[in-house]
Amino acid sequence: MIGRRTVNLTVCPFAMCLGRFKMFSKQQPKLQSYSKRTYSRFKYINPTLLNGRFIKEKKIIQNFDFFLILDFEATCEKNGTLNPQEIIEFPCLKMNSKTLEIESHFHQYVMPELNPVLTPFCVELTGILQEMLVGQPNFVTCMELFEEWMAKENLLHSKFALVTCGDWDLKVMFPAQCKLSGIAVPSYMKQWINIKKTYGEATGRYGHSLMAMLKSFNLSHVGRLHSGIGLRLVHVCWNVNS
């Protein structure tokens, strides 16, 4: 248990959307294709993929050793007027690109500094209670802990790609939080895989929402929708890669 929510790290079908990788960067407004030099073999093929057409077992070329799946939660208000927003939950799953196994995870609640008291709407939406933030570090310390975890997992010397559902986490929220906290955005956080776009490449349909993508793979939703550590993203990644 983390706080009052169960951490489910055993289900990992989100990574299969990552058969063809394209990265988005603030410095590169257009998607950039990356060369595929190594491969991994996936035996699980969802027969409903690509409008019901059966796909035979195939090799998928991978350019990365690991996927780091992120899903921030932030302070919010029902009418959307809360400004600035601050990150209150920082979760990350380390997925092996060849085995699609979750090898490790980082999870940290973060105490917001400008608006330390959560709104009733934020509590209801995220399931994060005020007492779960008591005694938690600020964002600067959280980033130090995250980089310590990355170093422990030898990620800084490997090929990895950050994965998000949409661009908000790393295009909007993370840079804004770094600016608010007076720290620079790390270079490795300036490009990422938006699983909605990769899903579109793999299926020919735009991924309007996480729930819609899960439904297209006949997958049931697991966990709380706005719960960072739940990372339902894993289900979609795993299926798109197949």
Q: What is the pLDDT of residues 29-72, one digit of tens each?
A: 333 333 333 223 333 333 333 334 444 445 567 889 999 999 99
pLDDT of 138 > 60? The answer is yes
CA atoms within a 13 Å half-sphere pointing along the CA-CB vector of 215: 7
| Catalytic residue positions, numbered | 73, 226
Mean pLDDT of 194-216: 86
Closest to 238 measured CA to CA, from 34, 39, 101? 101
Which tops the pLDDT comparison, 52 or 228? Answer: 228
Question: 71-91 pLDDT, tens per residue?
Answer: 999 999 998 779 999 999 999
Average pLDDT, whole number, for the chain? 76
> What is the residue whose two structure tokens read 């993203």?
233
Contact 121, 76 (CB under 8 A): yes
Question: 120-129 pLDDT, tens per residue?
Answer: 999 999 999 9
Which residue blocks in the chain are alpha helix, DSSP H?
A: 120-126, 139-152, 174-181, 195-203, 210-216, 233-240
pLDDT score, position 81: 77
Instruction: Identify the weakest region by mean pLDDT among 12-16, 82-86, 164-168.
Output: 12-16
Mean pLDDT of 86-111: 94
Instruction: Identify the weakest region by mean pLDDT among 32-36, 71-75, 164-168, 215-219.
Output: 32-36
Confidence of residue 223 (pLDDT cuts 50, 70, 90): low
Instruction: Identify the weakest region by mean pLDDT among 5-19, 72-86, 135-149.
Output: 5-19
Contact 69, 237 (CB under 8 A): yes
pLDDT score, position 213: 86
Q: Which two tokens stand for residue 223?
A: 């966990």
Q: What is the pTM of this model?
A: 0.73
Distance CA 94, CA 92 (A): 7
pLDDT score, position 173: 97
Cα 149 from chain centre? 16
Residue 26 phi, psi dihedral angles, 5° rounding: -60, -30
pLDDT score, position 225: 55
pLDDT score, position 16: 45
Instruction: Identify the weakest region by mean pLDDT among 24-28, 207-211, 235-239.
Output: 24-28
